[in-house]
A and B are shown apart, each in its own frame.
Chain A
């Protein structure tokens, strides 16, 4: 029995805050956490498994680094090992994380962006577009007019809706206004979407969202085929 406060369940809980930056979904829901072990003296080992060994090294690094960060914050955790298994660049990534290094440490000479900030930023923007489109469609389905929708403020969005919560978080991380009185639907520049532009905006925003969702679907299908695991799947299940 573990004598420390942190448990496997609390580690998994923390990992639920780690998002696949490319898909804007928690790695726990995608089935990327293949095992997790907490020793009685506070050593945590998490093994991550991606859908293919070829999955892009930069996104793989971000997920592994973020996982390490959230687990380290847990009480009584003395050491964290993140292992990316069955991946072409797993060895480089695992070694760099063990040394406490960034992306440059994992791939010296092959990158200049140690924190992968630009890449992260690009995908946070896509994620915000995608989440907003889902909220917008829900409001349209309720019969709301474009004027009413674009007139909404963040505080007018349903608080318990996961997309609404995530939008606020994404806006904060992107440095966009996130106070309750700011416009609920904004362009990547932070400009509110104009009522006359809502239809056009939604057409493109929906495409961005579809792309994120389809990629998530392919990742889930591949994991199911390769490992036979049942994965929390909001869409169709492979038959």
Chain B
């Protein structure tokens, strides 16, 4: 819980990691990729305030104590969701698997939720693993990373026929939240790997599932917005928007938030710190303090209210994950839904 100026915010951090990217976990022969991946993440940390930067060595593998301190003690987070990311071609035990994340979640069962993952290229074995994981970790969500390398393949799409089998399996297992993260590779390589069209198709065909697009589809924010405005079950995960822009590029942050509030709406945006890339503390505090400037440049954008921020900071995610919110932290009037914009706008582009 975070309190500022007499207002109390219930904080759900919907994108956390507890990774091991230390050299001991690099796959032999793949060191270039394992090292490149974590160094790239570390560069992103550099977009936050200087006093929150860590040395690379700590960044590669932080401790349970670091996590508890940064997320719960200092970070104001009431409940966090682990977005398990495997990358087993590069990291021997995986980057942060459900199993590894669960070691932390088991100690804080009321505060941490573990999301699983699937990869349709794993076929029957993958389906079976998803079933086992769902049982073991009581999964309500999965993370899918479409740019993961797997046995010579550099990616997959949610419209691949095998993917629907996994989405059906999710429904059967009571998994209702699919966090999709697009990356730079996909097959065939000539296509735009960041295209979110496959999420659009999957969201339309699977209305029982919620699709949370991580990093708001960056670098395709525009395609994401055009999709999210039309699909009631598509949400925006704000990781990287807050961590990567709020401090480093505040004007762009205003604009991205303005566009998201306009196209996606305050009921479908979720706070996410992406810890350990960025600590939640400065992001929570900064976001609560943030206002849309009252100048001509931003006059066309919705201006966030305290209620807007309460929803984004935690109440929206609490609904998706059936998290009980203490009465004093709920919205006073129950929260009127935000106005929805005319989807026809998209066709005029």
Contacts and interface: CB of A to CB of B under 8 A. Distances in A.
A237 B191 CA distance: 32
A238 B348 contact: no
Interface in B155-195: 183-185, 187-194
Contact of A208 (B43, B185, B222, B249): B222
Contact of B255 (A52, A112, A210): A210
B346 A225 contact: no
A214 B255 CA distance: 9
Contacts, number: 134
B32 interface: yes
A167 interface: no
Contact of A207 (B189, B190, B219, B221): B221
A99 interface: no
Nearest to B258: A210
A149 B248 CA distance: 35
Contact of A107 (B189, B219, B220, B263): B189
A54 B249 contact: no
Contact of A213 (B39, B154, B191, B252): B252
A236 B221 contact: no
A185 B37 CA distance: 42
B159 to A, nearest CB: 17
A226 B43 contact: yes
B196 to A, nearest CB: 12
Contacts of A51: 43
B47 interface: yes
Contact of B189 (A53, A110, A213): A110
A22 B190 contact: no
Task: Point out which of B225, B244, B263, B349 has the most chain A C-beta atoms below 10 A from its C-beta.
Answer: B349
Contact of A52 (B40, B47, B248, B345): B40
Interface residues of B, number: 45
B47 A221 contact: yes
B44 interface: yes
B346 A116 contact: no
Contacts of B32: 88
Interface stretch (A28-36, A55-63, A67-75): A55-63
Interface string B190-206: 11111000000000000
B40 to A, nearest CB: 4
Contact of A225 (B43, B245, B249): B43
Nearest to B147: A54
A160 interface: no
Contact of B263 (A58, A88, A126, A207): A207
A217 B253 CA distance: 11
Contacts of B184: 54-57
B26 to A, nearest CB: 15
Contact of A211 (B44, B46, B219, B348): B219
Given A22-B219, A207-B221, A222-B47, 13 more contacts: A52-B43, A56-B194, A88-B32, A119-B190, A203-B300, A208-B222, A214-B221, A214-B252, A215-B219, A217-B248, A218-B219, A235-B251, A236-B252
Of all A-B residue pairs in the complex, the 3 with the closest CB atoms, nearest first, are A225-B46, A204-B349, A113-B190
6 contacts: A52-B40, A111-B189, A204-B348, A218-B47, A222-B43, A238-B46
